Amino acid sequence: MSHRSRRVLATGAVLAAATCAVVTGAPPAQAATTAHCPTSTSFVLLPTGQGYLFPNLTASATACGFVDNGAPYRFTIDKATSTVITGGGQSREYTVENLRTECTHAGVSDGYVRAFGCHVP
């Protein structure tokens, strides 16, 4: 094979690879909503010590600067309070500072962000 033939084949291979890269492109970015809230509250209907203490949250939409960009919903909360309702009608309150949580559903109602399906990412 001549030197010129090798150069043409090499150029063709580079063009084919570049065309393939342009056509396929990068995968689309996953939508996500990120918000920082000074406070939030949660209510849990589980016996103490079982499950995640913040499976839902309620916070001021204005204070969080909440703009819905789609799931997943990621929240950083300075002071999160959860009330766990245990058997026998008793309850216990837990407070966590700098909580980071990710939720599957969120929306605004009456000026409050209400998020569900939350867990530690």
| pLDDT by position in tens, the chain (length 121) | 555 544 444 444 433 444 333 444 434 456 799 999 999 999 887 655 556 789 999 999 999 999 999 999 999 999 999 998 877 778 889 999 999 999 999 999 999 999 999 998 8
Q: How many CA atoms lie within 13 A of 72 on its CB side?
A: 11
Which pLDDT score is estimated for 31? 76
The rounded Cα 86 to chain-centroid distance in angstroms is: 29
pLDDT at 91: 86
How far is it, in rounded angstroms, from Cα 102 to Cα 22? Answer: 34
Element holding 20 (H helix, E strand): helix 3-24
Contact 76, 40 (CB under 8 A): no
Which sign, positive or negative, has the C-alpha torsion 28, 99, 105, 48? positive
At residue 39, the pLDDT reads 97
**Cβ atoms 26, 66 nearer than 8 A:** no
Give me the pLDDT at residue 106, please: 97
> Could you tell me which residues are beta bridge partners of residue 102?
74, 119
CA separation for the pair 55, 74 (Å, rounded): 13
Helix (H) / strand (E) element for 9: namely: helix 3-24
